[in-house]
Amino acid sequence: MNPFEYVKPSSVDSAIRAKARAGAAFIGGGTNLLDLMKGEIEHPRTIVDINGLGLDRIELLPDGRLRIGSAARNSDMAAHSEVRTRYPLLVEAIVAGASQQLRNMATAGGNLLQRTRCHYFVDTAFERCNKRNPGSGCAALTGEQRQHAIFGASDRCIATNPSDMNVALAALDATIRVQGPKGERSIPVGDFHRLPGGRPQVDTTLADDELILSIDLPENRCADGSHYLKIRDRASYAFALVSVAAAMHIENGVVSDIRIALGGVAPKPWRATAVEQQLIGKALTRGAIREAAKGVVDGSKAFPGNAFKQVLLPRAIARAVQVAGAVS
Ligand code: SF4
């Protein structure tokens, strides 16, 4: 690991000023950043510690939104009474990720920013990785593709976003509140992560000099039933091959609102809006759910190593929606 300077600012403003130094990085729980530093993938010259700045609070706002501070630990989010009562989907997604020890350290902001676990990205023995070394190529295009994307990829990068929390946030229409030298702004979660295009080294629309302050959740209109389904190679401590966050509102026996977000299949959480639209106004039956889910793979692009996802994904959506809607 390269030598680095450690800075512990006493305010959000001083943290943002410290980040302006060349090669500086924020640290919250460090569960991803330290791994990347030890693996010689990230080489920050200054570490700016954002713990102790009051960013770990979880609070209900007067307008009914829930504000989760960016330094709140995953375990604290999952155990918080307001989160458990109002957003059970988020709790399910968080506890599906990592291990208890990691959840005790990992933060909400770090979870948003965690980087892909593409084997070729995290192992510097592989030279070709456009995300780690722009312009070097993409080893996954002709290599191991089991974890890789079927939506939203480019010919430069086919990596997936590894977070479970982010999938639930996409279904819950979260907003990310950030602050930079010029003040605050809010980014809808759907615009926060970016597709690789020709610049796969850039994962998000967060500017270099901006700090995530909080994740804001609107009142949950889809609390009648929800479920997070994660399909992976082993039962715990593994990233999703495919995951589905489903939440719905039922009125007079028909679906009046439904949110379906997908993980493990794209460089960012992927909303299945066509499936949602097909279910709105319908009574939830196994047949209606299966019919709606099967079109989800229209427009997907698979490789030999991940073509199984085109079969698995509609089934996973059907299962998640059935469980969320208690459809027998
Ligand atoms: Fe690198 Fe992306 Fe290719 Fe993986 S898929 S090797 S992260 S460029």
Answer for the pair 276, 259: CB distance below 8 angstroms, yes or no. yes
Measured between alpha carbons, how far is residue 231 from residues 23, 44, 236, 243, 294 in Å?
37, 34, 10, 6, 18
> For residue 276, is pLDDT > 90?
yes
**Residue carrying structure tokens 């027998």:** 328
For 53, residues 6+ apart whose C-beta sits below 8 A from its C-beta are 9, 10, 11, 12, 15, 71
CA of 158 to the centre of ligand 1 (A): 6
Nearest to 144 by CA among 166, 169, 117, 167: 117
**What is the predicted pLDDT for the residue at 223?**
86
Q: Taking residues 29-55, report their average pLDDT.
A: 97
- 143 CA: nearest ligand 1 atom: 6
> For residue 27, is pLDDT > 90?
yes
**What is the predicted pLDDT for the residue at 296?**
98
Q: Which two tokens stand for residue 110?
A: 């770090």
Nearest to 90 by CA among 272, 177, 217, 188: 217
- 118 CA: nearest ligand 1 atom: 4
- Rounded Cα gap, residues 304 and 170, in angstroms: 28
Q: Which backbone phi and psi does 221 adopt, to 5 degrees?
A: -85, -5
> For residue 2, is pLDDT > 90?
no
CA of 94 to the centre of ligand 1 (A): 25
- 129 CA: nearest ligand 1 atom: 1
Q: Taking residues 292-307, report their average pLDDT.
A: 97
> For residue 1, is pLDDT > 80?
no
Nearest to 119 by CA among 39, 230, 195, 202: 39
> For residue 33, is pLDDT > 80?
yes
Mean pLDDT, the chain, whole residue set = 97
- 128 CA: nearest ligand 1 atom: 6
Measured between alpha carbons, how far is residue 23 from residues 68, 132, 308 in Å?
28, 15, 40
Question: pTM here?
Answer: 0.98
Orientation of helix 308-324 relative to helix 286-294, angle to 10°:
150
Q: Taking residues 169-185, report their average pLDDT.
A: 97
> For residue 256, is pLDDT > 80?
yes
> For residue 135, is pLDDT > 80?
yes
Grade residue 224 by pLDDT with cuts at 50, 70 and 90. Answer: confident
- Report the nearest-CA residue for atom 7 of ligand 1: 121
Q: Using a 6 Å CB cutoff, which residues line ligand 1?
A: 116, 118, 120-121, 129-131, 138-140, 157-159, 200
Give 34-64 as a 3 state SS string.
HHHHHCCCCCCCEEEECCCCCCCCEEECCCC
> Which residue type sits at 279?
L
